[in-house]
Every structure is written in structure tokens, then in C-alpha cells.
Structure 1
């Protein structure tokens, strides 16, 4: 290889003026030369450095596109062909562009080099053929007719099943008009399983007709993953297939496909088939994924899943879904009880599901095995504190959940557990004594939720106070009787006078709750507010909870707000200042003091990761009512951002509560912007803000057509809440549905405008 010729022009590039993930790209020439080194170690290191610099975690930089031609020349000379073709594919696939002067420049650079890459589609090495087909497909619209023709020619010639599947997928990506023809051939003939899986995915992705025969083909191929296409496509076939079907409006079809796959997986398991476990896992994951998208999927798929509970080898696939799908499942209780009476993690999971389903035997089982049931304890805590609702409560509009009922047997078990000492160096979830995790929070949280009926645990709580002061203080505030339990008051007073500020605050807060004495809490909060520690936002929130009593803290709060903006360059600092602004306004109605800080918060909308801070700023601005009018010019440019529109509309309605137009915009126009923000995949807070803003706009803003949009938010199959913790998404969406129905009732009481 004539390396100087291959890398001709390399030193004429102004690499020092370009950047990659680690700054200046002046090291790129050395790395490119290193790729061609005869010493394997040098070449390996050069390859890794290029991966991490010019296409770091899929991000491309100004140095990326200029590197591409040299990579293509090295590939043509046989240098690390598979790895470097894969690198070019990742560059072409990138949608995360860092400071590129022209959007898509990196992809276009790869497309410009497809000429010398296309011959590799016929390479003797099957992995090179696969990687090349994938990389060419990543160029999408930038790839020209030569690329489409080369892939089609490869489709006609390829005999390896895995490569043939990859080529089919690539052909479809570059030439969607050919999808129906290619998929018809693949599904009607004797194509090997990988090719049929690829054709089924292409059929779903491209909106081609789906029929019972296609569902039957999926069932016959389960588990689809064993016919997968390798790491480059990064798809789980069955999950991707059902998601595509659901996205195009085929909820029933997607559910039927998953149900069929579950049935096939169960049959394989009964037969002892070698692929049975993979089939069960794949089908269960697809069911779980679909349930987070489809509101009707859980009720229809749960009956197909429940038979798997009766086999210990498959029960673990089903039990977690009983806690997250918000579905009543009385028929599952006998099998769960049999598992929960056993040992180990599966027994713990089963007991957590029983608690969630409201099985009467569950509390007794938790009391019996409390030390060995951390997941069940967490579920009991979440039920008692209102973080979870049981399935019977999910669809009841406006019904408040009933806490986990007080149980004397469980109280006795908690008292015993509170006396357990950590066993030393072990840091496992269960360490032979009180776990060094959240167990103290859950135990004391249950007691706090029960309140005075848990008073019998006061001796154990007081004994645990030195070891776990924060959660114990909260429990004492709910459990103790301030008149009868003077010793508790004295213990809290002693705790409030010494130790870390956070501990003193917790004790002082408990005192305030018990006997109304705010002086210790005001004292420690004044210290924390003046100290500007890491917990400043928490301290401000604690001050806000004092209400009028927080007036004594106004000097510290005003000092915080008067600091220069440069002191609020971090998210915790600006959010603490916004909390302080909210409290100062509520205590003083001093708009001139708080408006500058709110304006600072709104400016965070343009910063990376700053949206949540800007949303918080709009929440504070709303409190000001008409006094927030000076902020309107800052608000209006953000109205086109769906993330901000609901909060901004709430501010505008508070500024001009009775006006037909808000900042010159009709309420009907604002209703359209708010409804556009209700998108599948939203976080709960964003989705709920849409409903709050609709109510604030009032019935006159909503025509029948707009009301139908709200009706769809409540009743359509696609979930609106789709982001957050996976085990909370379905629960949060069900809560959203309840609120959407309430909103609809509110807006229809006065009648809509009409069509």
C-alpha cells in the first residue's frame, strides 16, 4: 500500500481549526496513519481513538466529515474494512450534530464516498457484505441511484440468509417504492427465516397491508430474535414489529400479534423446545412494551400471560406486570400465594403483586417475612403513602385512594425490624440487620401513614432516632401525641439543638408539626439559607411550607434574590431562587423583587437541559397574576414550543383573567397551541399541564372539534404519558385519563362554541 498516496492531502486540511469530542482535531492525521500501522496494537488504539473522538457515542463534529474521504481510501486498500465501513455507517446515521456548519454534512460526506464502497457488497467476507449493506442504507436520501441499483443487484445474487435479510432491509430503506414487491416475494416464497423476519418488519414499517397470514408467519417464527440481523440494526424484532403496527393505527393488529407470539411461546415451553425460554422472554417484553403504548393491550394480553404463572420457570416473566399494568387479576392470586409462601426473590416479587392486587392474605405474609421482602415492603409503603393506586381505583374518577390499612401484626413486625442493627460491612439489600438502603424510609413511612394507630412503635422509633434521624423524625411527627408523649417532644428538642443541619431541620420540622413551635425550624432554616449549601432548594421549600411564619426568613430570602445572576448559573441555584421568589411574592406581593429572577428562569428555555427550569419559572410567574404583565414579552416567543405552551397560557390567563384575548391572541388560538402540546410520549407533568391550561382557558375557547381532541386524550388507545420510570408510565397515564375526563366535563357544562 502506498500510504502517502492514500493519505494525499491529509496535511493540507486545517485540522487544528476543526474539533471533535475532545477538542482540537489536530491529532486526527496521526490517528489515520496509525490505522495503517503493521503493529496491531497501534492500529487498534488508533481505531478506538477515532471512534471516541470523531463519532463519540453517535455524535459527529466539524472534524468528522473531513475525515471520511481518508477512511474510505483506507477501506479501499483493505485496511480494517469491516470496522471502518461500520464507522462510516455510524457517521451517516448520526442525528446528533455538534456545531456542523451545514446540517447533514457528515452524512453527505459518507454518501460521496459510496462509489469505492459499493463493490464490497460482493466481498467474499459475509460480515463485510452485511456491514456494507447497513452502512449504505444509513445514507438514506443522500444515496444516489447507483447505491439503489447495487443493493438490488446484491439482493438478486445473495445466498447467505443473514446477509440476504440485511440487503432486503437496506433496499427498502433506500427505495421505499420497492417495498411491496420485495416483501411479497420474500413472504410468498421459500425464503429462509431471517429474510421473512426482515420482510415482516418492512411490511409493518412501511404501512403495507397486514393480514392473518402475516400474523401466522410471526407465530411460526417465534422467537424472532434468533433470526435477528446482528448488532448493527439495533432492533428487537417482535417489539419493533408491534410498535410499528401500533404506530400506524393498528392497535388490534399489534395486540393480536403479541398475543399470538405469547401463545406460541407457551406452547414451545410445554414442548420443552430449546428456544422456549427465549420465546417467552421476547413475547413478554413485547407485551410489556406494547402495554406502555396501548391502553387496551393490558386487559387483552393479561389472560394470555397468566398461565405462565403456574410454572416457576416462567412465572418471573409475568409477576412484575401484575404490579405495573393497573389491571385487576383475581384469578392470579392462588398462584401468587403459592409462590409468595416460598423463598427468594420470586417470592418477594409475588408478595409485592399480592399487596398491589389487594389480596387479604398479603399483609400477614409481609409481617411473617418482613426482613426478607424488600420489594414487597416498598410496594406496601407506596400503597400507604398514596404513590400507588390499586387496580380497582384506577378507573374511578375523583376517587381518593385508601391507604394500606393498619394491621397490628404488621405493626409488630415493623417494631421488631426497627430494632435490628446493621450487621457490619455487608451492604446488600438484606444485610442480616436493618438494610443499609431505603428500608428505614419504608418502615417509618408505613408508620407515618398509619398515624396514631402506630403509636405502639414509639419506643422503637425513639431508639432508631440516632441511627436514622431523617425518616424517624417524619414518623414521630405523625405518630406521637403531643399532649401524652412529652418524652418524644424532649427527644426531638434535643435532636434539633445538635448535629448536622439537615438532621436538626428534620427534628425541628417534626416539632413544628406536633406542637406548633416554629422557632427551632426558623432558626435552622435561617442558617441553611445563609449558608447556600447543596440543599438550598430543599431549604427554600421547607420555608415555604411554614406559610406566614416564614416571614421571619424574609431577610435571608431577599438576600438570596438580590445576588447577581452569575451566582445562579447552575440548575439547583436558579431553582432555589425561583422558589424563594415564589415565597417572597406570597409574603410581600413585591413584584419588583421577584420579576428579575422569574425572567432569568424563563431565559433557561434556550439552554441545554433548561426546559424544566423555564417551566418552573412560568409556574412562579402564574402566582403573580396581573403583576406578571411585564413578563409577557418574554413569554410570547416561547408559545410555539409545545413544552412551554401550557404553562405560558396559564400565566396569560392569570394576567388577564376575564379578557377574550390574551396578549392579543384569541383564547381559541391559544387552545390550539395547548392541545398541540398533548403528545404521546409526554411526561406526566407536561400532560397534566395541558389539562390545567384547558380549564383555565374556559369553555368558550373550545369548539366541538377541540372537545373531541380532549375526548381522544382520555379515550383513544394511544397513551399520552409515555416517559418517566417504566413501572410508573401506565399508572401515570391512567391518572391522566381520569383528569382528562374531569376536564371534558368541566368544559362542556357551559356548552362549546360550535363547529
Structure 2
């Protein structure tokens, strides 16, 4: 390879005009030069930079496809060949076979280098063979790649390469590889090959049999068998099997999963139990029946107290189903430092009544457990909040006066007090003292715990905070005054001041103005002035604020002539992915305006192509022009959104709004499935909140099914 000619060609490309993850791709030639140089550290750094720029977290760009031939040529010439083959495989992996997209261009570019890639399938070094096998498979070019892989498999002796070959064949032709995988799983092949064969059987959709069950158990711990594989999706085999079988959503496959987990959790090998714990957590994330089904093996596991710390995360997901672990957790929580805090965090989920006094014992040193106790408040109601405990109340009162109180702790302490309401009224003196330090969070708690006989004095204190306290706490203080006394004067003044200041507080202020409705008529000029200027480069917080201002103007005046153009301006923004929730909020605001928002119908209809925005758009269209809707079509669209966990709560709300006449027999079946199926619908968001959110959604789906029956 003549490097001078090679780099002359590289330099002739318009890299500065091409884009990658960090903007201009002008740095790509330097990376390529480093790969061809003698400095190993510089070459390693160049590989890292290319992963960060042209294959950033799996995403590819216009510069990526242009770089592919040059990277392939360097690999073919022996420069960092293994690394570059893996990089080429990664570029092809996230690609598409058709369309005018960067992804399709990149996959096509890598397919164009298949002759070079396939040459390395027979390389002397095993690492090169593995890299070439994986990269070739990622192109998806089965007709060209499979014959080469099948030929190589007949002569390959290295276990990891054999495993990579089997995995690659299964990727390109799952059904056609099933027979070879079944044979390899049940023979005397090395463990690396047998686990690859087992996963290939799963990918082929073969029924899970006792042979698969016994093979999986015999291979545990299995993670070490795939450490050298390039297939990161299957780097935790037991977890992968559990997820794949549960997603089949059949009774037989669920029974197979829980039988497998039961046996694995009872294993005498600690490393196997650890893998089983991770896999059981996956089951809890996916399956509504998992907590109940995992009770028996967990009781067997916690019979050995030494095994409990490794199970904390799973115990939290099992919640009260794992109450058998409470005595061990309580003993561990009586210790000191982070180990005790970690045990108490699990106990909060498993037996909250038992956790409360232990949390009080050393409250300032239990941030994990305190955070878990406040997790009960996420989307919860009074009956799901952390249990009231007088000893814990005394500990909170003491902590509120501590000099080292900072970070999230004030938020969590006051959240607990607020959830307890008047039962926490004894903390009133400490809350009053803490108000100047933490006005945003303390004001709300003051209003929540204040008994009738102290309302006047507390309201006076809050009114002072609303008028002359720290600016970032004035809205909260004024809102608390209104809650205590019904007086709106301080709140009107605080809203006006925040609107004048601008910034992130505008959205909250506008929302409060909307709550006041016609009482806030004097704020209309301030709301108008707080709108962002049309045509300027507006960011998402500004657009969100504009939506709230539009809603406030409508609620206050009852006239849509100002609000509708504001929302129309939001809908005209070019929509990056992260702006989707802004459009959803704008659609909800339009729904509240009803027929007055008719000019927004074309924009709302445009949202129906996006699953996340469909539910709010349907709600709005139904409120604005119900007579013109194709009810069955829209019912199908919102059910699509709910089934894909795309704003499922709003989807069910929209379905109820459409009414029973919009639902076909198939729609009723799908709605019933949302309520009664085993697979969770809610599978996104904070992990600790997914199961509770799914349970609430399940109840909403049941209620919707009842209303629409």
C-alpha cells in the first residue's frame, strides 16, 4: 500500500463539509494517519476518537460512510486490522438495507468492502477471524456471507471463533441455523460453543425443552463463556434467555422461565446465583407475575443470610412479596455506614413498617434508605406514602435543624412530612425555622402539616416569604398561603414578579396563573410580555413556557384569539426528537380550548404519525371537532401507542373520550389485553418506578374496559 497516494486521496475528500457526532469531520484524516503510524498509543486513541465521532453510541453520520473505504484499506494493509474490522461491523450493525439515509449509506459502504472482510475469515490469528466473522454478519448480506461462514465452520477449531461463527449464522439465518445449533448444544463442544448454540436456538424461536433447560443450568455461570464474543446483546446469556422467553408471552414459556430461575437461584455455585439474580430482575421488569412467582426461590435464597446482600436489588423489586427477608435485612440494617444503609434501602421496599424506626435511628447517615422512603411518593397517593412513625417524625425534626442539611435531603424530609399531613404537625416549629434556608420545599410542607389553630401565624410567615424572601421561593410560599387561607393576593404578586424576571420560572408562573383563571385577569399584560419572540431561535424551555402562557390566557379570558396563534407557532417548530413532549403539551392545551382551537386541526392531524404524540393529538381533535373523526381508526392508533408504552396513560384517556362506538371487537380485545396480559406495558422511565406505574396503568385499563364495555 502506497501511503502517500492513499493519503492524497484521503485529503482530497471534503471532510470539513461532512458531519459526524461533533460537527465537522475535518479531524478524520488525522485519525486515519494515526492508525497508519508507528505510535501505538496514538493509534489506540485514534480508534477511540473514531468510535466517538463516526460511530457515536451506535449512531452513524454522513462522514461515516465516506470513511468506510479508507478504514477498510488500512485494515487490508495490516494497520490495526482487528480493531478496524470490529469498527466496520459496528457501523454496519445499526444500518438499514434501503432508503436515502445515513444508516443505509453506511451499511452499503461496508457491504462494498465484503471481499476484503471475508478474506480475514481465514486469517491465521483467531482474533482476526472472529472480527471478520462478526463484521461480515453485521452487513446482513446473507447470500454472500453464509456460504463462507458455513465453509469455515467445518474446519474451525478455536472455540471462540466457532461460537462467533454459530452466532453469525444465526444472525443471518435463524431458522436455517436451528438444526446446527441444536446439534452443537447437545454435543461435547466447548462451553463457549454450547452457549452460543443455546442462544441461537432461542433466536430461531425453537420451543424451550427440558434439553435446553438442562443445558442452560449446566453452563452456569455462563457470562464468562461469552466474554470474548463481539455480540454485546447476548453478553449475559441467562438474562437474555429469560427476556426472550418472556417476550414470547405464552404460558408455556413463562413456566419455562420461572422453572429455570427457581433452579438457578437455588444453585450451590455463588456466581451462578449472581447471574440468576440479574436475570430475575429482568423478569420483574417485564412480567407482572414475576414478584409472586419468585417468592419461593427467594425464600430459599435468603435462608442463607450471607447471600442476602447480593440480592438487595431484586428484593426491592419484589417488594412485600419478599417479606421473608425482612428479619435478615433488619439485622443488617442495624450496622453502620453504607452497608447498613443499603440493607435498610431494601427493607423499605420489603417491610416499610419495620424500616421506619431503623431509618429514624441514624437518619442523617441513611441517604439511600431515605431516598427509597420518598420513592413511595412518586406518583403515589396518601395511602401509598411511607408509613407514619412518631419516632421517625422526631428524627426528621432534629435533622431539619442540622447544620449539614443540604442536597436532596431537605426535599426528601419535607416530602415525607407533607405526605403525613396533620399527623406531622409537631414539626411546625422546625419547618418555620427552616423556611428561610429551603423556601421552595418547606413552604409546601408547612401548608400540608399546619393545623387550623396555627394557620393564621403560619400564613403570616409565608406571606412575608412570598413578598420579601428569596426570589426562587416566593411562588412556593405564595401558593402555600393560598392553600392555607384562600388568599390570592400574594400569589398574584409573586406570579407577576416571576413573569417579569423571565427564565425557567415562567412556565411554573403561567401554570399557576391558569389555575387562578379569571381571578388573574390583571396578569394578562405580564403573560403577553413573557411570550418568546416569534421567529427567534427558541429553546424547549421557552416553547414549554409559551404553551403554559397560551393555556393561561385562555383560562383567564375565555378568548382563544391570542392563545391559538401561540400554539400554532409552537407546532411550526422543526421537531427534533427531544421536542416531542412539547408538542404533546401543546396538544393538551388545544384540547382544553375545544372548538375554539379549530385552526390547529391540520397541525394536530400531523402529530398522528408519531406514536408518542398520537394520544394527546386524538384527545385534542376529539375536543375540537368530534363530528369529523374516524373513531375506529383513531382508536386503533391510540391502542398502538399504549401497547408500545408511548404515553399509554393519555392513550387510555383518549380511548375513553372516543367512546364505545369507536371500538371494534378487536379494539376491545386489545384493551382487555393491556389490563390482563402478563407482559408489563410500562417498561420505560426510572427503574424503581416502572412496576408501580404499570400497576396504576393496569387499573386504568381495567376501568377503561369497564366504561367502554
Q: Greater share of helix residues, 1 or 2? A: 2
Task: Report the Cα distance in structure 2 between the residues aligned to 1:210 and 1:361, rounded to whole angstroms.
Answer: 41
Task: Report the Cα distance in structure 1 between the residues aligned to 2:657 and 2:615, rounded to whole angstroms.
Answer: 10
Counterpart in the other structure of 2:190: 192
Task: Report the Cα distance in structure 2 between the residues aligned to 1:252 and 1:487, rounded to whole angstroms.
Answer: 65
Task: Report the Cα distance in structure 2 between the residues aligned to 1:486 and 1:588, rounded to whole angstroms.
Answer: 32
Counterpart in the other structure of 1:585: 554
Task: Report the Cα distance in structure 2 between the residues aligned to 1:346 and 1:312, rounded to whole angstroms.
Answer: 14
CA shift, 1:49, in A, is 3.9
Counterpart in the other structure of 2:111: 111
Counterpart in the other structure of 1:380: 373
Counterpart in the other structure of 2:69: 69
Determine if contact 2:18/2:24 at 8 Å carries over to the other structure. Answer: yes
Task: Report the Cα distance in structure 2 between the residues aligned to 1:510 and 1:596, rounded to whole angstroms.
Answer: 33
Flag the 1:344–1:255 CA change in 2: closer, same or farther, 3 A.
farther
Check if 1:57 corresponds to 2:57: yes
Task: Report the Cα distance in structure 1 between the residues aligned to 2:137 and 2:624, rounded to whole angstroms.
Answer: 53
Task: Report the Cα distance in structure 1 between the residues aligned to 2:375 and 2:120, rounded to whole angstroms.
Answer: 57
Task: Report the Cα distance in structure 2 between the residues aligned to 1:407 and 1:54, rounded to whole angstroms.
Answer: 55
Determine if contact 2:601/2:621 at 8 Å carries over to the other structure. Answer: yes
Flag the 1:673–1:193 CA change in 2: closer, same or farther, 3 A.
same
Task: Report the Cα distance in structure 1 between the residues aligned to 2:321 and 2:354, rounded to whole angstroms.
Answer: 16
Q: TM-score, normalised by structure 1?
A: 0.87
Check if 1:237 corresponds to 2:237: yes
CA shift, 1:45, in A, is 4.5
Determine if contact 1:92/1:138 at 8 Å carries over to the other structure. Answer: yes
Map Cα deviations across residues 643-694 of structure 1 (whole Å, 9 max, x no partner). 222222211221245x3xx3xx4312221222222224x15xx111111111
Task: Report the Cα distance in structure 2 between the residues aligned to 1:503 and 1:188, rounded to whole angstroms.
Answer: 68
Counterpart in the other structure of 1:413: 395
Coordinate RMSD, CA, aligned = 2.7
Determine if contact 1:193/1:227 at 8 Å carries over to the other structure. Answer: yes
Task: Report the Cα distance in structure 1 between the residues aligned to 2:12 and 2:459, rounded to whole angstroms.
Answer: 78
Flag the 1:547–1:224 CA change in 2: closer, same or farther, 3 A.
same
Flag the 1:527–1:115 CA change in 2: closer, same or farther, 3 A.
same
Within the candidate set 544, 557, 564, 2:533 is matched to 564
Task: Report the Cα distance in structure 2 between the residues aligned to 1:297 and 1:484, rounded to whole angstroms.
Answer: 48
Determine if contact 1:320/1:349 at 8 Å carries over to the other structure. Answer: no
Other structure's SS at 1:60 match: coil
Determine if contact 1:605/1:613 at 8 Å carries over to the other structure. Answer: no
Q: Give 5+ residue unaligned stretches, structure 2.
A: none
Task: Report the Cα distance in structure 2 between the residues aligned to 1:690 and 1:487, rounded to whole angstroms.
Answer: 45
Counterpart in the other structure of 2:325: 332
CA shift, 1:729, in A, is 0.9
The residue correspondences of 1:130-529 to structure 2 (distance < 5 A) are 130-141=130-141, 144-145=143-144, 147-230=145-228, 232-234=230-232, 235=234, 236-250=236-250, 252-254=252-254, 256-257=256-257, 259-261=259-261, 263-269=263-269, 276=270, 278-325=271-318, 328-358=321-351, 360-383=353-376, 385=377, 387-388=379-380, 401=383, 403-422=385-404, 434=405, 436-481=406-451, 483-484=453-454, 486-529=456-499
Within the candidate set 680, 687, 694, 1:726 is matched to 687
Map Cα deviations across residues 492-518 of structure 1 (whole Å, 9 max, x no partner). 333333343112333222222223332
Moved more, 313-322 or 713-722: 313-322
Determine if contact 1:530/1:556 at 8 Å carries over to the other structure. Answer: yes
Map Cα deviations across residues 352-407 of structure 1 (whole Å, 9 max, x no partner). 44444455433333333333333333343344x47447xxxxxxxxxx73544543
Task: Report the Cα distance in structure 1 between the residues aligned to 2:187 and 2:633, rounded to whole angstroms.
Answer: 54
Determine if contact 2:284/2:317 at 8 Å carries over to the other structure. Answer: no
Task: Report the Cα distance in structure 2 between the residues aligned to 1:206 and 1:696, rounded to whole angstroms.
Answer: 42
Within the candidate set 741, 749, 755, 2:702 is matched to 741
Task: Report the Cα distance in structure 2 between the residues aligned to 1:28 and 1:484, rounded to whole angstroms.
Answer: 69
Flag the 1:14–1:103 CA change in 2: closer, same or farther, 3 A.
same
Counterpart in the other structure of 1:273: none
Determine if contact 2:89/2:135 at 8 Å carries over to the other structure. Answer: yes
Flag the 1:22–1:677 CA change in 2: closer, same or farther, 3 A.
closer
Task: Report the Cα distance in structure 2 between the residues aligned to 1:31 and 1:451, rounded to whole angstroms.
Answer: 62
Flag the 1:148–1:453 CA change in 2: closer, same or farther, 3 A.
closer
Task: Report the Cα distance in structure 2 between the residues aligned to 1:3 and 1:649, rounded to whole angstroms.
Answer: 60
Moved more, 533-542 or 9-18: 9-18
Counterpart in the other structure of 1:669: 633
Within the candidate set 614, 621, 644, 1:645 is matched to 614
Check if 1:679 corresponds to 2:648: no
Moved more, 572-581 or 537-546: 537-546
CA shift, 1:636, in A, is 1.9
Counterpart in the other structure of 2:128: 128
Flag the 1:263–1:26 CA change in 2: closer, same or farther, 3 A.
same
Determine if contact 2:660/2:708 at 8 Å carries over to the other structure. Answer: yes
CA shift, 1:339, in A, is 2.9
Flag the 1:200–1:707 CA change in 2: closer, same or farther, 3 A.
same
Map Cα deviations across residues 695-737 of structure 1 (whole Å, 9 max, x no partner). 1111112233221110001111221111111111111111111
Flag the 1:198–1:689 CA change in 2: closer, same or farther, 3 A.
same
Determine if contact 2:208/2:256 at 8 Å carries over to the other structure. Answer: no
Other structure's SS at 2:468 match: coil
Flag the 1:18–1:43 CA change in 2: closer, same or farther, 3 A.
same
Determine if contact 2:120/2:128 at 8 Å carries over to the other structure. Answer: yes
Flag the 1:484–1:50 CA change in 2: closer, same or farther, 3 A.
closer
Check if 1:631 corresponds to 2:631: no
Flag the 1:248–1:449 CA change in 2: closer, same or farther, 3 A.
closer
Map Cα deviations across residues 536-595 of structure 1 (whole Å, 9 max, x no partner). 21222233343443223121112334x532357111111111111111111111111011
Flag the 1:568–1:35 CA change in 2: closer, same or farther, 3 A.
closer
Counterpart in the other structure of 1:532: 502
Determine if contact 1:219/1:264 at 8 Å carries over to the other structure. Answer: yes
Other structure's SS at 1:720 match: coil
CA shift, 1:524, in A, is 2.1
Task: Report the Cα distance in structure 2 between the residues aligned to 1:323 and 1:415, rounded to whole angstroms.
Answer: 27
Q: Give 5+ residue unaligned stretches, structure 1.
A: 270-275, 390-399, 423-433, 749-755
Task: Report the Cα distance in structure 2 between the residues aligned to 1:447 and 1:225, rounded to whole angstroms.
Answer: 45
Counterpart in the other structure of 2:92: 92
Counterpart in the other structure of 1:392: none
Map Cα deviations across residues 75-109 of structure 1 (whole Å, 9 max, x no partner). 22211111111121112113499x96665121111
Determine if contact 2:245/2:257 at 8 Å carries over to the other structure. Answer: no
Determine if contact 2:318/2:350 at 8 Å carries over to the other structure. Answer: no
Flag the 1:410–1:547 CA change in 2: closer, same or farther, 3 A.
farther
Other structure's SS at 1:674 match: helix
Flag the 1:702–1:605 CA change in 2: closer, same or farther, 3 A.
farther
The residue correspondences of 1:3-22 to structure 2 (distance < 5 A) are 3-4=3-4, 9-22=9-22
